[in-house]
Amino acid sequence: MRILTSKLLRKLAKFFGNRIDDVHSGECLGNAFIIVWGGCIWVIGYTGTKPLLPTWLSENRVSYWRYRLGFTIHRDIHGDD
């Protein structure tokens, strides 16, 4: 039952979910439903293959009531050696 629900959510996210782009490179990472509720961020039905890393985005004007959040992937710190 759990696997069936997971597959169904991924299929729905592929067509109806939000597109997630890498904030540094602009590369499309996949689709998912992003739900913000009660101070928590839930990423449901993520269709990408790489693990997501949430990052805070800089703002032009400082406002403390709303923060912008973006997603990126883990970069290889040692290079492509």
How confident is the model over 57-80, as pLDDT tens digits? Answer: 887 777 666 778 899 998 777 765
Q: What is the pLDDT of residue 20?
A: 92
Within 8 A by CB and 6+ apart from 73, the residues are 22, 29, 50, 51, 52, 53
* Residue 52: closest CA among 68, 81, 79, 32: 32
Residue 34 CA, chain-centre distance (Å), reads: 7
Q: Tell me, yes or no, if the pTM score tops 0.85.
A: no
Q: What is the pLDDT of residue 31?
A: 92
Q: What are the start-end ranges of the H helices in 17-66?
A: none
Give the residue ranges of the chain where pLDDT is below 50: none
